[in-house]
A and B are shown apart, each in its own frame.
Chain A
Amino acid sequence: MAQKSIYEFSAKKLLMTELPKYFPSYNYHGKLAVITPETDWDKLVAEHPWLNTDKLAAKPDQLFGKRGKANLLLLDADLNGLKAFITERMNKKIELGGIKGTLTRFLVEPFVPHEKEFYVSITSDMGNDTVHFSFEGGIFVEENWDKVTHVPVPIGTDIDSFDLASKLPDLGDLKDTLVPFIKGVLKVYIDQDFAFLEINPFAVTADKTVVPLDLKAKLDDTASFQHLDSWGNPDNPIQFPRAFGQVLSKEEQFIADLDEKTGASLKFTILNRDARVWTMVAGGGGSVVYTDTIADMGFAKDLGNYGEYSGNPNREHTELYAQTVIDVLTERPDPQGRPKVLLIGGGIANFTDVKATFLGIVAALRKSADKLKAANVKIYVRRGGPNEKEGLKLMEDVGKEIGVPIEVYDRYTHMTRIVPLSLKGDS
């Protein structure tokens, strides 16, 4: 729950419906079409007749920028040109800044001929929402960052009476268009709980119509309950897509689905299936601390996963979680024949019942005795909290019972000490 990126399509739609409330002369064309591998061209054209008549622009809409530089931008094309452009790129694997992914979603709009490209964005910090504006929009805005004007607007400011014009550079005859536009965008940003919005660039046509060309936005998804009539509508909620190239494995998907079903928190990200060191850590902060310590001690390359279970998950969910981690970690033995290490760690819990959650983990361990032995797994446990003695005893006992080495440490051993204990000496 936090700041989440949305599709450019969603952001433009949201702006299209909300901005006219504050900037009535915003007569944006509103022509937006999305093409995915499932798109039926005939249906698409029937729904969007302008595809036949307008000159078109198209680009991937998958939360990455710099599309012009990657030859992923189509401008001033007709429908045939669009079809050719899409056919050539749809489902194509590309690599962008080291991230590999597949192109699966394109946004098509009318091509808007323009001369000048402007830049506006809004960011937030504790006290202010800051408007960033520049005449030099487009792909070179970062290089020209010194030409950007920054106008902090303190939180709680009445935007209508706020003197924005005097804080911006001289806008000349565009003043009466741009000032209300930017104020309107700022109001949408505030009222719709955006966390970030960047329109780069936007154009102003000869008849002084403002047209956003490229748009990036993040919403604060915790605010969805305040926007049931717009993006938080439970019947038609806005999509929060994953970052480009991020595809969940079946195990990660399984845990993500489990997480959806429970009030507790269950997270699992596989970093390297062949790795030797795996973690099953309680607590949001605790999980970060263990992952850090493994990396800080020089074992990042050996780390198999990031994950956490917290918020007092029930025994059944803990068992499913543990089983998933165990299944992945025992999939393949270490190529060099070294023991695999499973760290069942955690700080001293406030209220998560150590015994109850450990019962779930113990059940998974018991079922996995053969797998654990085949993969030569050594287990290290450190935990504290309610019923800690009983919980730790369970772990000791199950180790003896199933013949898997389990070393158990209580609150008097520093939380992360099991990291060096398990890894030092055999790096």
Chain B
Amino acid sequence: MTNGLFNRNTKAIIYGFQRNAIQRMLDFDFVCKRDTPSVAAVIRPSQTGAIGYHKVFWGGKEIVIPIYRKFDLAVKRHPDADVVINFSSFRSAYPTTMEALKADTIKTVAVIAEGIPERRSREMRKLAQETGKVIIGPATVGGIQAGAFKIGNTAGTIENVVLSKLYRPGSVGFVSKSGGMSNEMNFAIAQNSDGVYEGIAIGGDRYAGSTLLEHLLRYEANPKIKMMVCLGEVGGTGEIDIVNAVKDGRITKPLVMWCIGTSAKLLPAGLQFGHAGAMAGSDMETAHAKNKALKDVGVIVPDSYDDFGDKIKETFEKLKTEGKIDPVDEFEPPKLPMDYAQAAKLGLVRRPTNVISTISDERGDVPMFGGSPKVGLDTIVAENKSLGYTIGLLWFKKELPKFAQDYIEMVVKLTSDHGPAVSGAHNAIITARAGKDLMSSLATGILAIGPRFGGAISDAAKYIKLALDKKMNPQEFVDYMKNVVGINIPGIGHRIKSVQNPDVRVKLLKEFVLNNFEKHPFLDYALEVEKITTSKRNNLILNVDGCIGICFMDLLENLDLSEEEKADVIATEMLNGFFVLGRSIGMMGHIFDQKRQRAALYRQPWDEILFAD
């Protein structure tokens, strides 16, 4: 194993799209004042394109990091990256690690997943040894070289990195099995010495890709590391290898070490405690035996974990007194800008919103509709509320009374279709037959709705309102429309129907309004106007569009709305809304009809067109 795995220029390829880990690595780089980010690329096997880009913060700025679908392309494009941090799951960690180990430019692979089959871990280590590479893990958070490079989520939050003085190197080489305890130890070492130079957690599995001893031997060979700290564990024989290395002189630097799991004997036999590898197979593998063997060869072993920190301090102070510790190159780490989300949570910043929504709120368990109080979609369904009720919540922000719900549903039904020949349906049919999708076909139909097609509804309402506002009597209004506005009265007149042959739709609508609305001044007025117009010609009757529009005005009269609110309802084109809503049902029906028939492209016959100059 080479003695240094990382430096201030180390770059890594991250296997697995771990947004937080990537950002934390870059934040670490920033507080260390690294020149370049430590993440070269990301592998995300689930992405569709060969290359994508991921935005990250580099201090206060944003930069992008390429995301590759395949490992080999990332390796080819980033030959300067020699570390892979493998976040694959326990299922795919093996093949991805083997792939990484086989890449020439990769020297170190950190394997984060827990629960990798033991035989797979052993095979991974075998390949690492054959290729002269290093695996850190599996089942670990990783490791850190202070002031240089951080694996993934090691050392937790950036606040902890700073408190544990990991933004600059100290003199202590640390290695443990436990990843969780490594965080505690990084801080404890900073409290009791000049801090960690490098700290690795090899992982709690029985078969780790690299051993405690291998890392200690790297630290032994590194002149910057003056003393070593190791946290071993019950189970396995890795700690015994350290005893032997001390005995035969391969380890000479002061080593403070403790094996956890001395209480294993208190627990019922066969109970797994702590890590997967933490089970003593023989007496030699107990924590007590290991601690004793270590002490016997001169390793500095505390009496319990409680004086581990004190032993580290004593050892460090002794080295310092002996003049063996170089002064630390201390600096004030640059302040990392706080993430907006966190700052907002702490109440430190505020920001204006861009959108106000007053009718619908989907942030809770179920979407809530309406004004105040809002009604849950679950209630609407569970209590079998009507479609009219639901439209009332979303359009009027009100729980509408029964007569209003019924009126709305009646309007939706009445406007739902008017045959294939009218502009909207015709457009929709032509577009559907041109092979376009449902949405495009429907849109062409809806786009035809306006002043002429469907427009009579709003216009009828508009002019009748004008008449009432100006307090014209019906005759004055008829004259006004003829002489001043100069158009036929919108909503009056039918191609076929007449006084003698009334439109049954209008009849039903009128009856409903007269029987159910407390007030109906608009309908009453319109019926007076109709008397005048039908006296001129018997087909100048109140037609269905006019009736819908005019009765809608009556509906507003019965809903406890102020004049301004009523004006808003009209100005926001809600009446057109009813027509669009209702007629969409019919237009979609025509589209489905054409598509079901596999109807061919429509071409208007020449004999329907007059060609002229």
Contacts and interface: CB of A to CB of B under 8 A. Distances in A.
Interface string B151-190: 0011111001001100000000000111111011001100
A246 interface: yes
Contacts of B277: 2
A99 B269 CA distance: 9
A288 to B, nearest CB: 4
B181 A285 contact: yes
A78 interface: no
Contacts of A283: 180-181
The number of chain A residues touching the other chain, given as a range, is 35 or more
A209 interface: no
A126 B180 CA distance: 24
Contacts of B485: none
B316 to A, nearest CB: 15
A124 B237 CA distance: 13
A385 B262 contact: no
Interface string A280-291: 000111111101
Contact of B117 (A193, A269, A294, A349): A193
Contacts of B117: 193, 220, 222-223, 226
A385 B180 CA distance: 11
Contacts, number: 183
Contacts of A411: 163, 187
A393 to B, nearest CB: 14
Given A193-B119, A411-B163, A349 B263 contact: no
Interface string B253-287: 00000001111001111111111111100000001
A195 B278 CA distance: 15
9 contacts: A3-B279, A127-B126, A156-B123, A222-B117, A243-B270, A285-B177, A289-B305, A386-B157, A414-B306
B91 A225 contact: yes
Contacts of A349: 156, 180, 183
B362 interface: no
Given A126-B125, A156-B123, A351-B157, 16 more contacts: A124-B122, A126-B122, A127-B122, A193-B117, A223-B117, A284-B275, A285-B177, A285-B260, A291-B263, A292-B304, A292-B305, A294-B263, A306-B273, A310-B180, A350-B154, A411-B187
A269 B263 contact: no
Interface stretch (A18-26, A114-122, A136-144, A295-303): A295-303
Contacts of B119: 124, 155, 190, 193, 220, 223
B304 A350 contact: no
Contacts of B261: 288, 292
A68 interface: no
Contacts of A313: none
Interface in A240-269: 242-243, 245-246, 267, 269
Nearest to B288: A296
Contact of A348 (B178, B187, B266, B271): B187
B456 interface: no
B179 A303 contact: no
A414 B275 CA distance: 22
Contacts of A289: 181, 260, 305
B253 to A, nearest CB: 24
A83 interface: no
Contacts of A220: 117-119
A223 B90 CA distance: 9
A396 to B, nearest CB: 20
Given A220-B117, A384-B184, A348 B156 contact: yes
Interface string A1-19: 1110100000000000000
Given A246-B268, A285-B275, A288-B261, A350 B118 contact: no
Contacts of B67: none
Interface stretch (A360-368, A373-381, A415-423): A415-423
Contacts of A303: 263, 266
A293 B116 contact: no
B29 interface: no
Closest 4 CB pairs of A and B: A347-B184, A243-B270, A285-B178, A296-B304
Contacts of B155: 350
Given A283-B180, A351-B156, A193 B268 contact: no
B268 A415 contact: no
B207 interface: yes
A287 B271 CA distance: 14
A242 B267 CA distance: 14
B290 interface: no
B303 interface: yes
B63 to A, nearest CB: 24
B360 interface: no
Contacts of A351: 153, 156-157
A271 interface: yes
Interface in B174-221: 176-181, 183-184, 187-188, 191, 204, 206-207
A412 interface: yes
Interface in B115-143: 115-120, 122-123, 125-126, 141
Mostly helix, strand, loop or mixed at chain B's interface?
Answer: loop
Nearest to B303: A296
Interface in A182-197: 190, 193, 195
Contacts of A190: 119
Contacts of B91: 225
A369 B21 CA distance: 40
A285 B271 CA distance: 15
A226 B307 CA distance: 44
Question: Which residue of B125, B271, B274 has the most chain A CB atoms within 10 A of its CB atom?
Answer: B274
B305 A350 contact: no
B121 to A, nearest CB: 9
B274 to A, nearest CB: 4
Contact of A385 (B116, B160, B287): B160
Given A284-B204, A292-B304, A385-B160, A1 B181 contact: no
Contact of A126 (B160, B207, B270): B207
A207 B13 CA distance: 60
Contact of A2 (B176, B183, B206): B206
B183 A288 contact: no
A293 B306 contact: yes
B114 interface: yes
B16 interface: no
Nearest to B118: A220
Contacts of A300: 263, 266
Given A1-B114, A99-B269, A226-B117, A288 B188 contact: no
Question: Which residue of A156, A292, A294 has the most chain B CB atoms within 10 A of its CB atom?
Answer: A292
B309 interface: yes
Contacts of A412: 191
Contacts of B125: 126
A222 B126 contact: no
Question: Which residue of B141, B184, B233 has the most chain A CB atoms within 10 A of its CB atom?
Answer: B184
A297 B304 contact: yes
A339 B206 CA distance: 40
B273 A350 contact: no
Contact of B276 (A2, A271, A347, A415): A2
A416 B305 contact: yes
A288 B263 contact: yes
Given A292-B260, A350-B153, A155 B306 contact: no
A286 B263 CA distance: 13
A123 to B, nearest CB: 9
B266 A271 contact: yes
Nearest to A296: B304
Contact of A295 (B164, B179, B187, B263): B263
Interface in A282-339: 283-289, 291-297, 300, 303, 306, 308, 310
Contacts of A127: 122, 126
Contacts of A126: 122, 125, 207
Given A285-B180, A306-B273, A243 B268 contact: yes
A52 B299 CA distance: 65
Contacts of B260: 285, 288-289, 292
